[in-house]
Amino acid sequence: MHLLFRDATLIHPGAQGAPPRGDLRVRDGLIAEIGPGLPSLGAEEILCDGAWLAPGFVQTHVHLVQTLFRGLADDLALMDWLRTRIWPFEANHDEESAYFSARLGLTELLLGGTTTILDMASVRHTESIFRACEESGAKAAVGRAMMDLENEAGLSEATERSLRGASDEADRWHGRGRLRYAFAPRFVPSCSEGLLREVAAEARRRGCLIHTHASENRDEVELVRQMTGRENVQYLHDVGLSGPDVCLAHCIHLSDAEVRLLAETGTRVLHCPSSNLKLASGLAKIPELLDAGVHVSLGADGAPCNNRLDMFTEMRLAALTQKPRLGATVMPARQVYELATAKGAEALGLNSGRLEVGRPADLVLLRPDLPEVLPSPDPASAMVYAMSPASVDSVWVDGQALVRGRRVLAWDWDETVAGVRASLARVRARAGR
C-alpha cells in the first residue's frame, strides 16, 4: 500500500505555531516521509488542497455493546442506571443484537474520526463485538465484562467460568490483525477478590491490558469501602490492579493518597466528561491529576450515558468544565487535543497518535472550511472548541481507507439501520422495557 497525501495542512498534537503545509507518504501502513513537493513514485495520490491531515482519535473507554440502548436510560444516577436499565438490557442481548449494537457504535466512531478504541463488552456475546470491530477495520482492544458477584439482572457468572471464557477469547483474538484483548473486570462491586487477583496474573501472563471502572460515583466508593475496608484505588492496587497496563475509567472521587498512588504506579486514568456530567457522578479533577503526574486520556463511555460517541464533544467538555473552577487558562486546547490522540495511544501501549515518520498511518482528513469552523487560525482551538464529526471527511487506519467522503466503507448503512431496529425490538421485548 503506497499513498501520497498532497498539499495537506499537517496537524501535530502539542505543536506550537502555525501548522506546516506539505505532503505525507504512506508505505506498508506506516508514515514513510513528510515534506514539501515529494515525488509520486507511483503512489496513489490524495489531493488535500490544504485540508487538515491529523492523527486519528484514540478513545480509551467505550461500551459498544450499549449503543443499542441510546436514549433508554436517561436521567438516572450510576447505580440505578446500571441496576434498572443497563444490566437488564445487556442480559437480554443475543449474538446478533450485540453485533449490530457494536456495528452502529463503530459507524459513529469512524465518522467522528476515531480510529482506535478500548472497549468493555458485556458478560456474554463478546465475540460479536470482536466480529464487528474486525469488519470495520478499526483498531480495538476489547474484553468481556467480568462479573462473578450476583446482581438483580442475573448478569454474572461463576469465577472459573468468567476466567476461562476471557482466556479463551484472548486466545482467539489477542493480536489478530488490528485487534487485542483487554481483561475487563467491570468494577469492584461486581467482582470477587479472587477474580481480580486472577485477572492481574492472567492478563500479565498474556501481555494484555486490564480495563475497569473506579471511583466514578460516591455511592460506588462507599460500597467499595464497606466491602473491602479500603479506598477503591488502594484496594485495586492491593490486589494487583495498578501499573501502566491498568486502565481505570473515571477516577472522579479520589483521596490525595490515591492520586499519589496513580502517579507512582503509572496507572492510566480514562476521563469521560460527558458521562460524568450526565450521570451526575461529579467533575474529575483532571488538572490536578495532570499536575501530579497521572497519565490521562479521553473516552466517550457508552451511548446510554452520553448519548454520543463523539471525541469533539469530549475534548470541548474536558476543557470547558474545568475553567469555572480553576480559571480560564487551565486545560488549553493543545493539551486537551493531545489527550485525545497521543496520550490515548500511550495509554494503550501503541505507537500512533502523532504525524511522525515510522508511526502507523492512522489518519483523519478534516474540513476546516465549514461555517462553524472558519477562520480557524489555530487548528487545536478549532478541533477542541468548534469542530464536530461533520468536519471529518475521510479516515485511514494503517493506511487503509475506512471512511471516504463521509461514507463508512465496511458495510451498508441501510442494512445497519434495519439490523439495529430489529435487534432493539427483540431485546426490549425480552427485557420487558
The residue segments making up the domain with residue 359 are 2-55+354-408
Q: Are residues 308 and 251 in the same domain?
A: yes
Instruction: Tell me if 416 is assigned to some domain.
Output: no
Q: Are residues 15 and 108 in the same domain?
A: no
* Tally of CB atoms within 10 A around 350: 18
Q: How many whole angstroms separate alpha carbon 98 and alpha carbon 357?
A: 38
The CATH number of residue 319's host domain is: 3.20.20.140
Total domains, the chain: 2
Q: Are residues 312 and 256 in the same domain?
A: yes
Domain boundary among 347, 373, 394: 347
Q: Are residues 127 and 188 in the same domain?
A: yes
Cα within 13 Å of Cα(19), Cβ side: 25
Q: How many whole angstroms separate alpha carbon 293 and alpha carbon 296?
A: 9
Q: Are residues 340 and 360 in the same domain?
A: no
Q: Are residues 204 and 343 in the same domain?
A: yes
Instruction: Tell me if 430 is assigned to some domain.
Output: no
DSSP 3-state assignment of 82? Answer: helix
Instruction: Tell me if 432 is assigned to some domain.
Output: no
What is the full per-residue pLDDT of the chain (433 aa) written as tens digits? 899 999 999 998 877 777 889 999 999 999 999 999 999 999 999 999 999 999 999 999 999 999 999 999 999 999 999 999 999 999 999 999 999 999 999 999 999 999 999 999 999 999 999 999 999 999 999 999 999 999 887 899 999 999 999 999 999 999 999 999 999 999 999 999 999 999 999 999 999 999 999 999 999 999 999 999 999 999 999 999 999 999 999 999 999 999 999 999 999 999 999 999 999 999 999 999 999 999 999 999 999 999 999 999 999 999 999 999 999 999 999 999 999 999 999 999 999 999 999 999 999 999 999 999 999 889 999 999 999 999 999 999 999 999 999 999 999 999 999 999 999 999 999 999 8
Q: Are residues 270 and 402 in the same domain?
A: no
Q: Are residues 14 and 101 in the same domain?
A: no
Instruction: Tell me if 93 is assigned to some domain.
Output: yes
Cell 484514540 belongs to which residue?
58
